[in-house]
Amino acid sequence: MSEPSPETRLRLRRGYRLQWEPAQAAHVLLYPEGMVRLNESAAAILAACDGRELGAITAELADRYDAPGLAADIREFVATALARGWLSRE
């Protein structure tokens, strides 16, 4: 699978849900086969994947966290999330 481009539109895969889990004191990604506990960065990226383009997501997160050098890290995480089936391309 090719690396996502800035124009790639991303969304959580059907059947997957991101939510805060008080018992875990963390965001989790719930899906039919189980659950993944997420760190704050992963949760922020997945929450932003609502059908927008990767470039817009990256710009928003870089602005929100005042960290302009995030693009490579976000792209790497998104590629991993796509490979694991957490995200789908629109």
Taking alpha carbons only, the member of 32, 28, 14 closest to residue 90 is 14
Residue 90 included in any domain: no
The total of structural domains in the chain comes to 1
* CATH code of the domain covering residue 34: 1.10.10.1150
Contacts of 24 (CB under 8 A, 6+ apart): 37
Residue 1 included in any domain: no
Compute CA distances 43 → 1, 2, 78, whole Å: 23, 23, 12
Q: Which two tokens stand for residue 65?
A: 């966290």
CA 21, CA 74: separation in Å to the nearest integer? 23
- Provide the residue range defining the domain that includes 24: 9-83
**pLDDT tens, residue order, the chain (90 aa):** 578 999 999 999 999 999 999 999 999 999 998 999 999 999 999 999 999 999 999 999 999 999 888 999 999 999 999 999 999 998
